[in-house]
Structure 1
Amino acid sequence: MLTVDEILSRLVELLSQEGETYYARVLEIRRLQFVKAPGEAERRDVAIDILRMYGGMGSFNDLVLQDGVRTPSGSNRRLNSLRNALYEAASRLATTR
């Protein structure tokens, strides 16, 4: 099972390769916040911030990678897999007391 840091790193790499700079930057910021968090409570706060990215129209959950008119199916499958793994890992952390 991948850690939150590993999942975020892989997502940033994928999104950067596919030209999705907005979410690549946002997730890199969350990764740095998570890595630098001094304790469990602070990591839980970052996990909660990550979960907030999944709600509402136009959210991270709605992201589909496209290259002009082409939708790279392999990259989108990888995105979905990593996005689901991140949601599960962040959910576990957010509910841990």
Structure 2
Amino acid sequence: MTVREYCIEIYKLLNEVGEIHWAKSFKIFISELEESEDKSIYRKIISIYGGMGSFNDLVLYKNGILCRKENDELAKLRSELYLEIGNNWT
């Protein structure tokens, strides 16, 4: 998958469980990736991975219930997106 495709899949997953804040961020990333082939957006995406309250810390809940399947999928997509950016950022 491309960086854009990973962002779309993550956006869908976040939106599905009602994680509006992070879904909005990914919607912006998707728009920026569609508008330009400039890879500077990669820096913005990578920046959400570090620090307290970062994307790495995100655990999905819906109606107060832990979303196991969705968290497993998010962990996979989160790692793969990071690797895809690393492989394509030159």
Does the pair score TM above 0.5?
Answer: yes
- The match for 1:56 is 51
Which one has the bigger strand percentage? 2
CA radius of gyration, larger in:
1
Calculate the aligned-residue CA RMSD, in Å. Answer: 1.1
Counterpart in 2 of 1:36?
A: 35
Q: Secondary structure at the match of 1:58?
A: coil
- Give structure 1 stretches of 5+ with no counterpart: none
Task: For residue 55 of structure 1, report the CA deviation from its aligned partner.
Answer: 0.7
Instruction: Specify every segment of 5 or more residues in structure 2 that has no aligned partner in the other structure, as ranges.
Output: none
**1:50 aligned partner, one-letter code:** I
Sequence identity percentage: 32
Residue in structure 2 matched with residue 18 of structure 1 by the alignment: 17
Once residues 55 and 92 of structure 1 are traced to their aligned partners in structure 2, the CA distance between those partners, rounded to angstroms, is 19
Letter matched to residue 67 of structure 2: P
CA distance, structure 2, for counterparts of residue 69 and residue 12 of structure 1: 20
Compute the TM-score of the two structures, normalised by the length of structure 2: 0.93
Give CA-to-partner distance per residue, 1:48-71, whole Å, 9 cap, x none.
110000010100111000124321
User: Does the Cα contact within 8 Å between 1:14 and 1:79 map onto a contact in 2?
Assistant: yes
Once the two structures are TM-superposed, the CA of residue 22 in structure 1 deviates from its matched residue by 0.6
**TM-score where L is the length of structure 1:** 0.86
Residues 1:86 and 2:84 are matched in the alignment: no
